[in-house]
Structure 1
Amino acid sequence: MPVDRETTDSRRLSQALTTGPFSLALRLALKSSGLSLDRVQFRLRERDAAVSKTALSNWQSGRTQPERPDSLRALAVLEDIVGVPTGALSSLLGPPRPRGRWLAQSPGEMRADQAWARPDGLARALQRMGTGIEAINQVAKIATHLTSTVDARRRMRTISHHLVLRAERDGTDRYTGAYRSDVGDCLDITDTIGCRPGRRREDAETGFTTYELLLDQPAKAGDLVVIGFTVRTNAQERYHSQRLGRASRVYSVQVRFDTAALPVRVYRTYLPSIGDVPQEEVEVPLGASCTAQHTVLDPVPGIYRLAWDWD
Structure 2
Amino acid sequence: MIKPVEVRAVTPEASFAEALRQAIARRGLALNRIRTHLADRGLHVGVATLSTWQSGRRIPCEDSLATVTALEELLQVPPGWLTGRIPPARTEPETAPQPYAVVDYAEALTRLLDRLRRDAHGRLRNVTVLEEVRLGADRSAHSRRVIQSVVAVQPVDRLIIAHQGEPGCDAEQLALRALSGCRTGRIARSPEAGAMLGELLLDRVLAVGETAVVHYEIEDRTGLPSTEYQRFSEWGGMHYVLEVQFDRAALPVRVHEIRRRHTSGPNLVHRDLMLTPDGRVHVIEASADPGTVGITWEWD
CA 1:202 to 1:196, structure 2 compared with 1: closer, same or farther past 3 Å?
same
Query: Which residue of structure 2 aligns with residue 122 of structure 1?
Result: 109
Q: Which has the higher helix share?
A: 1
Query: Which residue of structure 2 aligns with residue 241 of structure 1?
Result: 230
How many residues are treated as equivalent by the alignment?
202
Q: Cα deviation per residue 1:49-87 (whole Å; 9 max; x = unaligned)?
A: xxxxxxxxxxxxxxxxxxxxxxxxxxxxxxxxxxxxxxx
Match of 1:192 among 179, 183, 186: 179
Distance in 2 (CA, whole Å) between partners of 1:201 and 1:246 is 23
SS in 1 for 2:109: helix
Query: Which residue of structure 2 aligns with residue 207 of structure 1?
Result: 194
Distance in 2 (CA, whole Å) between partners of 1:197 and 1:216 is 11
- In structure 1, list runs of 5 or more residues that go unmatched: 1-102, 106-110
Assess if the C-alpha contact under 8 Å between 1:125 and 1:208 holds in 2: no
Distance in 1 (CA, whole Å) between partners of 2:178 and 2:161 is 16
Distance in 1 (CA, whole Å) between partners of 2:163 and 2:133 is 14
Match of 1:174 among 152, 155, 158: 158
TM-score, normalised on structure 1?
0.61
Distance in 1 (CA, whole Å) between partners of 2:234 and 2:262 is 11
CA 1:147 to 1:275, structure 2 compared with 1: closer, same or farther past 3 Å?
closer
Query: Which residue of structure 2 aligns with residue 84 of structure 1?
Result: none
Letter in 2 for 1:180: Q
Shift of 1:113: 5.2
Distance in 2 (CA, whole Å) between partners of 1:273 and 1:151 is 28
Query: Which residue of structure 2 aligns with residue 219 of structure 1?
Result: 206
- In structure 2, list runs of 5 or more residues that go unmatched: 1-94
Q: Cα deviation per residue 1:168-220 (whole Å; 9 max; x = unaligned)?
A: 212x1100111112243452223511001000011111222100000011110
Greater relative CO (CA pairs within 8 A, separation 6+): 2
Distance in 2 (CA, whole Å) between partners of 1:276 and 1:259 is 31
Letter in 1 for 2:151: R
Distance in 1 (CA, whole Å) between partners of 2:199 and 2:115 is 12
Query: Which residue of structure 2 aligns with residue 273 of structure 1?
Result: 262
1:155 aligns with 2:144: no
SS in 1 for 2:101: helix
Farther off after superposition, 151-160 or 269-278: 269-278
Query: Which residue of structure 2 aligns with residue 255 of structure 1?
Result: 244
Distance in 1 (CA, whole Å) between partners of 2:147 and 2:113 is 23
Shift of 1:120: 1.4
Give percent identity, aligned residues only. 22
Assess if the C-alpha contact under 8 Å between 2:131 and 2:144 holds in 1: yes
TM-score, normalised on structure 2?
0.63
Assess if the C-alpha contact under 8 Å between 2:147 and 2:214 holds in 1: yes
